[in-house]
Chain A
């Protein structure tokens, strides 16, 4: 329990730190969003109108310290301001919509690649030195070293453009209305296949290598020999003696990998024009949409923290020693 409380305190501190970075970064960005917004319209605004607009967007004329406090307060009350590009849409609405897509895509891709990678790693370690091991190792090295951009582009080229098996963009058929019927859901699955496939290719290798190396290190331990000496079945020793212990470091590697998962998802979303958080952040940066940039970074950090906390929880379940600590 103390372990989890300590982690929670840390996450709170990390969240405030992220909010602080968030507050200062966009303020250092070049270009005034209000001016940029109306630059294209070609008309000059009067100062009064400009100030009124600034107020609407939450850019209050106050010392930076006051602005900061106001920002922190609004963050903790869930008010992230309004988008400049899609005025007057609140940022929380815009990002909330995007978040659903990203959580679905990232969540599914992470689960599949973690399960697949761990399984392949265990099998490769158990049969180390065989052809199976060589193939898995090489494939894993390849998958963990090739940029997500490259995998995304090649997947899009082969399956999207050349073979034409899958659509080249969007999360669902734009002609359909979102609803819980089979037509819409199948369209979502169909559109999600390529982005998902891309992410699984990018992520699986890392998990497989970590698991394989942990597992091999453990296979020399006495309790493995003991298990075999007791005459337990191969599968029993592999799964309940070796794999269970090798899983611990893999799970903590998962916590660190989550940042990379979000990064990979960003690239994939941009390439496949998938309406998730990454793509929204990217579009917001291109449009200098400060409130959306701030909100996106913040929500992504929050998502990372929550995911890390879930990993912590599973760690307690996997390692009973932590319960007593």
Chain B
């Protein structure tokens, strides 16, 4: 509860949440915001932006604005789906490794370190190529199962310190089963770490999905921002001067990424008050410095 109110009082969070809400609304109400279909020829190829086609048309005569709206659905779905999967796996393994210790910890840590040293994107590229024309769902699943290592590392080290606290000790004394301690004593204390991990994973998933599709490893019939980039690149949009075709998905991805990153940064600030450097602190620092005669 207090986390929510704090989030709303943080200016970074406010901007981030606003961006996210707008993208979600656009994705949900896409059919009402445009009269065109994203998969039908509605104009002549490579028309610059005009009153009829706000963001111009692609080489195949699709309406760029329409594809932008519908594409938000895929980006959000893959982002949040894969992000959730990454976070769940990372958190569960991290807490188990940190709490259980011993051989279990050794095995999980070894696997984690192993995955961290194998370059992620090249591996994903090979995996996606092996599957061939991966649909967004498949991309989300591959991302989920290959990218949890960072989450495990962070969650584990935090669990190690929470485990030492008195309330965990007393729960152990009371004879609570270890799954209960992990789920109800430790997990609630990791919520900010889990939140940061989740949003970070969503950013990662959105970016990586777009990247894989841009590289031509996605299903070319999907309507998504990554496929828009891929089609634009294939149509040599840059060299024929159809900047609207390539810049539109670029800006969309950048804005969504920025919104999510702002939320992440705000959670970090709330969990760790020292990072908060709003106007109050600046004034206070100014006073101190003036007192020291350094300003």
Judge if A50 is at the interface, Cβ distance under 8 Å. no
Given A146-B257, A149-B229, A282-B125: A301 and B243 within 8 A (CB)? no
Residues 4-42 of A, flagged 1 when their CB comes within 8 A of B and 0 if not, give 000000110110011001000110111000000000000
Bound state CA distance, A262 and B216, in angstroms? 19
Whole-angstrom distance between the Cβ of A128 and the nearest chain B Cβ: 4
Residues 292-310 of A, flagged 1 when their CB comes within 8 A of B and 0 if not, give 0100110011001100100
Bound state CA distance, A308 and B119, in angstroms? 12
Give the segment of B66-74, B185-193, B274-282 that binds chain A: B274-282
Judge if A270 is at the interface, Cβ distance under 8 Å. yes
User: A128: which of B114, B241, B281 is its contact (CB, 8 Å)?
Assistant: B281
How many of chain A's residues touch chain B, expressed as a range? 35 or more
Judge if B254 is at the interface, Cβ distance under 8 Å. yes
Judge if B42 is at the interface, Cβ distance under 8 Å. no
Q: Which 9 residue pairs are nearest across A and B when measured between Cβ atoms?
A: A263-B121, A129-B282, A145-B261, A145-B257, A147-B207, A129-B277, A129-B281, A262-B119, A128-B277
Do the beta carbons of A148 and B119 come within 8 Å of each other? no
21 A-B residue pairings within 8 Å (CB atoms): A18-B118, A21-B123, A25-B130, A142-B254, A146-B257, A146-B258, A147-B206, A147-B257, A148-B207, A148-B211, A149-B250, A161-B238, A213-B268, A216-B275, A217-B274, A260-B120, A262-B122, A263-B119, A285-B125, A297-B122, A305-B117
Do the beta carbons of B239 and A141 come within 8 Å of each other? no
CB-nearest residue of chain B relative to A130? B282
Whole-angstrom distance between the Cβ of B54 and the nearest chain A Cβ: 20
Instruction: Please provide the chain A residues from 130 to 152 with a CB less than 8 Å away from any CB of chain B in the complex.
Output: 130, 133-134, 137, 141-142, 144-150
CB-nearest residue of chain A relative to B113? A10
Do the beta carbons of B275 and A150 come within 8 Å of each other? no
Partner-A contacts on B (CB < 8 A): 12, 110, 113-114, 116-123, 125-127, 129-130, 132, 150, 153, 203, 206-207, 210-211, 214-217, 229, 233, 238-239, 241, 243, 246-247, 250, 253-254, 257-258, 260-262, 265, 268, 272, 274-275, 277-279, 281-282, 284-285, 294
Judge if A157 is at the interface, Cβ distance under 8 Å. yes
Do the beta carbons of B122 and A30 come within 8 Å of each other? no
Bound state CA distance, A286 and B230, in angstroms? 14
CB-nearest residue of chain A relative to B262? A141
Residues 186-218 of A, flagged 1 when their CB comes within 8 A of B and 0 if not, give 000000000000000000000001000100110
Judge if A153 is at the interface, Cβ distance under 8 Å. yes
Instruction: Please provide the chain A residues from 222 to 271 with a CB less than 8 Å away from any CB of chain B in the complex.
Output: 234, 256, 259-260, 262-263, 266-267, 270
Do the beta carbons of A157 and B247 come within 8 Å of each other? yes
Do the beta carbons of A29 and B130 come within 8 Å of each other? yes
* Contact residues in B for A147 (Cβ distance below 8 Å): 206-207, 210-211, 253-254, 257
Do the beta carbons of B281 and A25 come within 8 Å of each other? no
Do the beta carbons of A256 and B265 come within 8 Å of each other? no
* Contact residues in B for A122 (Cβ distance below 8 Å): none
Given A147-B253, A154-B247: A266 and B122 within 8 A (CB)? yes
Bound state CA distance, A150 and B248, in angstroms? 10
Bound state CA distance, A301 and B121, in angstroms? 11
Instruction: Please provide the chain A residues from 266 to 325 with a CB less than 8 Å away from any CB of chain B in the complex.
Output: 266-267, 270, 278, 281-282, 285-286, 293, 296-297, 300-301, 304-305, 308
Do the beta carbons of A146 and B116 come within 8 Å of each other? no
Most chain-A Cβ atoms within 10 A of its Cβ — which of B127, B214, B272? B214
CB-nearest residue of chain B relative to A282? B215
* Contact residues in A for B274 (Cβ distance below 8 Å): 216-217, 219-220
Bound state CA distance, A85 and B70, in angstroms? 39
User: B122: which of A142, A149, A278, A308 is its contact (CB, 8 Å)?
Assistant: A278
Given A146-B257, A161-B239, 13 other A-B residues pairs in contact with their CB atoms under 8 A:
A10-B113, A14-B118, A21-B123, A30-B130, A128-B277, A129-B282, A130-B282, A146-B254, A154-B250, A217-B275, A263-B119, A267-B211, A282-B215
Whole-angstrom distance between the Cβ of A277 and the nearest chain B Cβ: 8
Residues 153-187 of A, flagged 1 when their CB comes within 8 A of B and 0 if not, give 11011001100000000000000000000000000
Most chain-B Cβ atoms within 10 A of its Cβ — which of A13, A30, A146? A146
Bound state CA distance, A130 and B282, in angstroms? 6
Do the beta carbons of B126 and A259 come within 8 Å of each other? no
* Contact residues in B for A266 (Cβ distance below 8 Å): 121-122, 125
* Contact residues in A for B206 (Cβ distance below 8 Å): 147
Bound state CA distance, A256 and B123, in angstroms? 16
User: B129: which of A149, A259, A285 is its contact (CB, 8 Å)?
Assistant: A285
CB-nearest residue of chain B relative to A258? B119
Most chain-A Cβ atoms within 10 A of its Cβ — which of B12, B119, B239, B277? B119
Instruction: Please provide the chain A residues from 107 to 144 with a CB less than 8 Å away from any CB of chain B in the complex.
Output: 128-130, 133-134, 137, 141-142, 144
Bound state CA distance, A159 and B123, in angstroms? 31
Given A129-B281, A141-B258, A149-B211: A285 and B238 within 8 A (CB)? no
Bound state CA distance, A109 and B81, in angstroms? 33
Whole-angstrom distance between the Cβ of B60 and the nearest chain A Cβ: 19
Given A133-B277, A150-B253, A256-B116: A145 and B126 within 8 A (CB)? no
User: A281: which of B125, B229, B265 is its contact (CB, 8 Å)?
Assistant: B125
